[in-house]
Amino acid sequence: MKEITMDVLKDAANRLLFTMSEEQYQTLYDEFKILTKQMERIGEIPGVDDAEPMTFPFDCTVTYLREDVAEKPLDRDEALKNAGSVQDHQIKLPKVVG
């Protein structure tokens, strides 16, 4: 892994087109020192390299999907009967975007 230095942090910030004060760079550098120590500790766990990487923390098997059965659709009046506001046979919604 590439060593995180103050120059590396400043280069990354420059590439991302933002600037920070020297105090902010120092805080970020101190945080990265803590983070790299934690990653090194994780790397010391026996057998960690043999573990399969996880993309989601829980086993998820979906086997309960229902069959797609075609049914007669609702007629327009039935579909609109519970709408709060109807205009020109369509559900009227409040304006969302200016």
For the chain (length 98 residues), average pLDDT per consecutive 10?
Answer: 87 91 94 93 91 83 82 91 91 87
Residue 65 lies in a domain: no
Reduce the DSSP state of residue 30 to 3 states and report it.
Answer: helix
Q: Is residue 78 part of a domain?
A: no
Q: Do the domain assignments include residue 34?
A: yes
Domain containing residue 19? 6-48
The position carrying tokens 């960690």 is 48
User: Quick check: is 27 in a domain?
Assistant: yes
In this prediction, residue 1 carries a pLDDT of 64
Domains held by the chain: number: 1
Query: Is pTM beyond 0.75 here?
Result: no
Surface-to-core class of residue 10, CB atoms within 10 Å of its CB (0-12 exposed, 13-18 middle, 19+ buried)? middle
Token pair of 79 as six digits:
């579909």
**64 lies in some domain:** no
Residue 40 covered by a domain:
yes
The verdict on residue 26 lying in a domain is yes
- Tell me, yes or no, whether 93 lies in a domain: no
Q: What is the pLDDT of residue 26?
A: 95
